[in-house]
């Protein structure tokens, strides 16, 4: 299914998008990737959504990526005798391990790992940062705090500790069970929550064992600090701005977003910008002007994908939300300023033969009348390197591996087409010409750029570039063997 844009759209599935017809409508409206949120819904429900997506994929002959988003450890306070208490600025408040119902003076915080990491002066945030407390004294089983920003605190509200690396694994027992379930199910991407260090990603990758690509969610200040190390061991990144905005001053989030997107592009790894992009469309058929500008900003920055959460999972207008994102993307990418920004931010990288091949492909395509860049790829690396160049012409990624085609559905500008295994380069050129024409990217009178690696079907061997006519008789005439 050909899109008229390069940025991809991720749509979260939920109660509002739970059946065949709605999920199909979301894909036709523009959703390239479907996110399964493991925080909501049991395994049977997740299995059924997965089955529906694969059925739609077969019907429409359009590779669709499925992203399973693990919940991660949840840090929450215990319960209160009155269910809710009002904390006021300047008052004392204690967190401890006593499971007795809480009062206006204390509550259980059933996470001894937090107490181990606390120091005097550490900030604790409760209820998405609405309540702020500063630790005055602490021990192995308590923290005496002073309230610096008051508000209502109630049963099982979330707790954030932004200033320290917590001695907690990114994978809870639930996450480990969910991870094995979705790997057996056959998802394409797995998103890791609560990533603090590269070791968190490496632990998950060892369990996944190549069955899915790994996407690290950057939602903690410690992950921003260790970003280069995390990026090096991740297959992709999600900039989870909601949690970042809780643990960091909100004004810090936009420049962090820009930096992370650029680093991901330089590393040729997909990056999703997520959280509250069109949040008003949960209840309104129209977004706010600020939300539209936010979506446009992520596209101008060169993000590979933009994501809908509750808008498509639980909102009243899921299809309209996807259509709005699609329309904004088409409009932004047709703006001459977009191309100027994308090209000004291009990172020149010439560390391998493959880097040189994809850079040459882009330059040839942009200096002559070339309709598309066709790259043959097994692991997906060649297509990712081509996408890093952000060429002006479409990228057609041809692969014999359905898993590779699905994973590339998350990558900027890649249009994935299945092809058989190849033995000779001429066969690759013929297949590329057929694919470009059948998908509507070129006619028999046009030319394309073809990149591939010889020997075929070996990852990491991109070493050939050819400008080829789409007319197959001309291909055979120029290369009869």
Q: Confirm if 216 and 192 have CB atoms less than 8 A apart.
A: yes
- Whether residues 177 and 107 share a domain: the answer is no
Closest by CA to 7, choosing from 227, 282, 307, is 307
| In contact, 195 and 169? CB cutoff 8 Å | no
Asked if 35 is an active-site residue, the reply is: yes
CATH number at residue 59: 3.20.20.60
161-198 burial code (b ≥16 CB/10 A, e <16): bbebebebbbbbeebeebbeebbebebbbbbbbbbbbb
- Asked, for residue 77, whether it belongs to a domain, the answer is no
Residue from 3, 47, 76, 402 carrying the catalytic annotation? 76
Last residue of a domain, one of 160, 180, 207: 160
Look at strands 159-160 and 33-37 and give their pairing. unpaired
Residue 194 in any domain: the answer is: yes
222 is catalytic: no
Tell me, yes or no, whether 316 and 358 share the same domain. no
CA distance 46 to 35: 10
| Those residues with Cβ within 8 angstroms of residue 402's Cβ, 6 or more apart along the chain or in another chain | 63, 418
The domain in which residue 129 lies consists of: 84-160
Question: Are 247 and 279 in contact, with CB atoms under 8 Å apart?
Answer: no
The pLDDT profile of the chain, 481 residues, written as one tens digit per residue, is 789 999 999 999 999 999 999 999 999 999 999 999 999 889 999 999 999 999 999 999 999 999 999 999 989 999 999 999 999 999 999 999 999 999 999 999 999 999 999 999 999 999 989 999 999 999 999 999 999 999 999 999 999 998 788 888 889 999 999 999 999 999 999 999 999 999 999 999 999 999 999 999 999 999 999 999 999 999 999 999 988 988 898 999 999 999 999 999 999 999 999 999 999 999 999 999 999 999 999 999 999 999 999 999 999 999 999 999 999 999 999 999 999 999 999 887 778 899 999 999 999 999 999 999 999 999 999 999 999 999 999 999 999 999 999 999 999 999 999 998 877 888 889 999 999 999 999 999 999 999 988 777 677 678 899 999 998 766 665 654 4
Please calculate the CA angle 375-376-380 and round it to the nearest 5 degrees.
90
Task: Please measure the distance between the N-terminal and C-terminal CA atoms of the chain and give it in whole angstroms.
Answer: 33
User: What is the longest distance spanned by two Cα atoms in the chain?
Assistant: 86
189 in the same domain as 52: yes
> Among 97, 132, 160, where does a domain finish?
160
Q: What contacts 144, CB < 8 A, 6 or more positions away?
A: 92, 93, 94, 135, 136, 137, 138
**CA–CA gap between residue 105 and residue 272 (Å, rounded):** 42
Q: In terms of residues, how long is the chain?
A: 481
Same domain, 237 and 295: yes
Residue 61 placed within a domain: yes
Distance CA 352, CA 384 (A): 14
Same domain, 255 and 360: no
Exposed, middle or buried, 420 (CB in 10 Å: 0-12/13-18/19+)? exposed
**452 strand-pairing partners:** 464
Let me know if residue 344 belongs to a domain.
no
Let me know whether 184 and 266 are in one domain.
yes
Residue 34 to residue 56: CA distance in whole angstroms? 12
The verdict on 207 and 185 lying in the same domain is yes
Output the pTM of the full model.
0.93
- For the question of residue 197 being annotated catalytic, the response is no
Q: Is 345 among the domain residues?
A: no
Known catalytic membership, residue 339: no
The answer, yes or no, to whether the previous bond of 455 is cis (omega within 30 of 0) is yes
* C-alpha dihedral (400, 406, 407, 409), degrees to nearest 10: 120
Residues 45 and 185 in one domain: yes
Q: What is the C-alpha to C-alpha distance for residues 332 and 289, in angstroms, rounded to an integer?
A: 14
Instruction: Give 410's Cβ-side CA count (13 Å radius).
Output: 32
CATH number at residue 145: 2.40.33.10
Domain end (from 143, 160, 177): 160
Domain shared by 300 and 189, yes or no? yes
Say yes or no: 201 and 294 in one domain: yes
- Same domain, yes or no, for 247 and 320? yes
Q: 96 in a domain, yes or no?
A: yes
CATH code for position 445: 3.40.1380.20
Q: Which of 138, 126, 139, 131 is nearest to 76 (CA)?
A: 126
Same domain, 173 and 156: no
The residue from 8, 35, 94, 466 that is catalytic is 35
Say which of 217, 258, 371, 466 is annotated catalytic: 217
With a CB cutoff of 8 Å and minimum separation 6, the contacts of 288 are: 280
Which is the catalytic residue, given 12, 122, 222, 275? Answer: 275
Neighbours of 295 (CB within 10 A): 24
CA 76 – CA 80 distance, rounded (Å): 12
Structural domains in the chain (count)? 3
Are the beta carbons of 78 and 111 closer than 8 angstroms? no
CA distance 384 to 106: 52
- Report how far residue 83's alpha carbon sits from residue 430's, in angstroms, rounded to the nearest whole number: 69
Does 342 map to a domain? no
In a domain, 317, yes or no: yes
């Amino acid at each position: 299914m050909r899109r008229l844009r390069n940025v991809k759209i991720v749509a979260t599935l939920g109660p509002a998008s739970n059946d065949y017809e709605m999920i199909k409508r979301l894909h036709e409206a523009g959703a390239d990737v479907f996110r399964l949120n493991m925080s909501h819904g049991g395994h049977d429900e997740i299995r059924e959504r997965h089955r529906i997506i694969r059925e739609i994929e077969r019907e429409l002959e359009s590779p669709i990526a499925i992203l399973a988003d693990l919940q991660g450890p949840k840090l929450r306070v215990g319960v209160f005798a009155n269910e809710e208490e009002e904390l006021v600025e300047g008052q004392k408040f204690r967190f401890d391990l006593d499971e007795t119902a809480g009062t206006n003076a204390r509550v259980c915080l059933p996470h001894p790992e937090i107490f181990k990491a606390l120091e005097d002066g550490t900030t604790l945030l409760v209820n998405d940062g609405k309540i702020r407390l500063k630790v005055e004294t602490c021990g192995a089983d308590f923290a005496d705090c002073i309230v610096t920003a008051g508000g209502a605190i109630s049963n099982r509200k979330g707790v954030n500790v932004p200033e320290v690396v917590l001695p907690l694994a990114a994978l809870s027992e639930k996450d480990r069970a969910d991870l094995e379930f979705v790997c057996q199910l056959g998802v394409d991407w797995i998103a890791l929550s609560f990533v603090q260090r590269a070791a968190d990603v490496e632990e998950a990758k060892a369990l996944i064992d190549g069955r899915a690509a790994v996407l690290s969610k950057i939602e903690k200040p410690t992950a921003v600090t260790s970003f280069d190390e995390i990026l090096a061991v991740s297959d992709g990144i999600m900039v989870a701005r909601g949690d970042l905005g809780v643990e960091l001053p909100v004004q810090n989030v936009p420049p962090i977003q820009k930096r992370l997107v650029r680093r991901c592009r330089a590393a040729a790894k997909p990056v999703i910008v997520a959280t509250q992009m069109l949040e008003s469309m949960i209840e309104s058929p129209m977004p706010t002007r600020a939300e539209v500008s936010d979506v446009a900003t992520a596209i101008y920055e060169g993000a590979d994908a933009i994501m809908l959460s509750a808008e498509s999972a639980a909102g009243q207008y899921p299809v309209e939300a996807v259509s709005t994102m699609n329309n904004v993307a088409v409009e932004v990418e047709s703006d001459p300023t977009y191309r100027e920004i994308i090209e000004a931010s291009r990172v020149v990288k010439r560390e391998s033969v493959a880097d040189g091949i994809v850079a040459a492909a882009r330059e040839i395509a942009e200096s002559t009348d070339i309709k598309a860049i066709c790259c043959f790829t097994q692991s997906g690396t060649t297509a990712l390197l081509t996408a890093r160049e952000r060429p002006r012409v479409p990228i057609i990624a041809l692969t014999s591996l359905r898993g590779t085609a699905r994973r590339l559905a998350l990558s900027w500008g890649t249009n994935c087409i299945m092809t058989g295994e190849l033995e000779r380069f001429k066969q690759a050129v013929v297949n590329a010409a057929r694919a470009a024409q059948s998908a509507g990217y070129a006619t028999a009178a046009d030319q394309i750029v073809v990149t591939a690696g010889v020997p075929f079907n070996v990852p990491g061997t991109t070493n050939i570039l050819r400008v080829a006519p789409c007319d197959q008789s001309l291909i055979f005439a120029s290369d009869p063997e």
